[in-house]
Amino acid sequence: MTDCFHRGPGGVTHGIDNGGKSGPGATDSRVVVLSGPSGSGKSTIVNRLVEQAPVRLVKAISATTRPPRAGEAEGQDYYFLAPAEFERRRQAGEFLEYAEVFGSGYWYGTLNSELDRAARAGAWALLEIDVQGARRIVEQYPDAVTIFLSASSPREYEERLRRRGTESEATIRRRMEIARDELAAAGFYRHQVINDDLESAVREIAQILISRENELNAA
Ligand code: ADP
Ligand code: 5GP
């Protein structure tokens, strides 16, 4: 498998060499990135992992200009920002990465302060972000644990989104078109996990984190 996220064309690992300190470029970072098509179960799994805490884990709360869905809470699901505030923070360099996701006109981004919050707690930062964002994170944290989540049947995403009942038909259609491109990027992640059975998927990801934590502790 060509590991394009983690290795450059000459086999050179991308990233910033900061001499082994924590933060961008460090080789002992505790950063885990979870991506996958809409409906693959990312949010469900993130919540389960945070509850079960197989390793010390902090969910990095993203900022977004998308309006909250029913039941979503400020500072818990996202920091919901007005577009001008998102732009102000972007210009102030507060984002580690940001992207317009799904061609929706809405912006999403990971705040540096969220990774700092996790590091201060001595915990893993768990980022649920799209493929573009994952590439940017790996440039800065080449040793990040990257996990791509999918379902074995392509129909399943759509059915789950319909059952979730939070998106309009037009949004579901757009997300399904984008799912094809996202699935094409799955091979660039270090780990691919199938979420057909929720409990097995959570167990598998927990095991990936425990193994990496053990490696880091042994180093
Ligand atoms: P994402 O964050 O990737 O868009 P969600 O976590 O919101 O996906 O999951 C989409 C829907 O599918 C939710 O209603 C969730 O309860 C459901 N779901 C998650 N995992 C499974 C699974 N393994 N089997 C069936 N339904 C699932
Ligand atoms: P949703 O609107 O369903 O909450 O999220 C839509 C998409 O945005 C998902 O694919 C999710 O992974 C992605 N996303 C959420 N937060 C971020 C972020 O901070 N950065 C990037 N690049 N993508 C994000």
pLDDT value for 17: 33
| Residues of the chain below pLDDT 70 | 1-22, 25-27
pLDDT tens sequence across 155-164: 999 999 999 9
pLDDT value for 13: 32
Ligand whose nearest atom lies closest to the CA of 179: 2
Q: How far is the CA of 157 from the centre of ligand 1 (A)?
A: 8
Cβ(11)–Cβ(88) below 8 Å: no
At the topology level, CATH places domain 31-60+123-218 in Rossmann fold (3.40.50)
Ligand whose nearest atom lies closest to the CA of 94: 2
Which backbone phi and psi does 187 adopt, to 5 degrees? -65, -15
pLDDT value for 24: 74
Closest C-alpha to 132, from 185, 193, 58: 185
CA-proximal residue: ligand 2, atom 22 (nearest): 133
Cβ(143)–Cβ(20) below 8 Å: no
Map out the domains of the chain as residue ranges.
31-60+123-218
Q: How far is the CA of 57 from the centre of ligand 2 (A)?
A: 19
How many whole angstroms separate alpha carbon 163 and alpha carbon 161?
Answer: 5
Question: Is the minimum distance from the CB of 41 to ligand 1 under 6 angstroms?
Answer: yes
Q: How far is the CA of 159 from the centre of ligand 1 (A)?
A: 10
How many whole angstroms separate alpha carbon 217 and alpha carbon 219?
Answer: 6
Pocket residue to mutate for ligand 2, from 40, 127, 130, most atoms within 8 A of Cβ:
130
pLDDT value for 74: 98
Helix (H, G, I), strand (E, B) or coil at 213: helix
pLDDT value for 16: 30
Cβ(119)–Cβ(125) below 8 Å: yes
Question: Is the minimum distance from the CB of 200 to ligand 1 under 6 angstroms?
Answer: no
Q: What is the position in ligand 1's atom list of the atom closest to the CA of 44? A: 6
Q: How far is the CA of 129 from the centre of ligand 2 (A)?
A: 5
CA-proximal residue: ligand 1, atom 20 (nearest): 41
pLDDT value for 27: 67
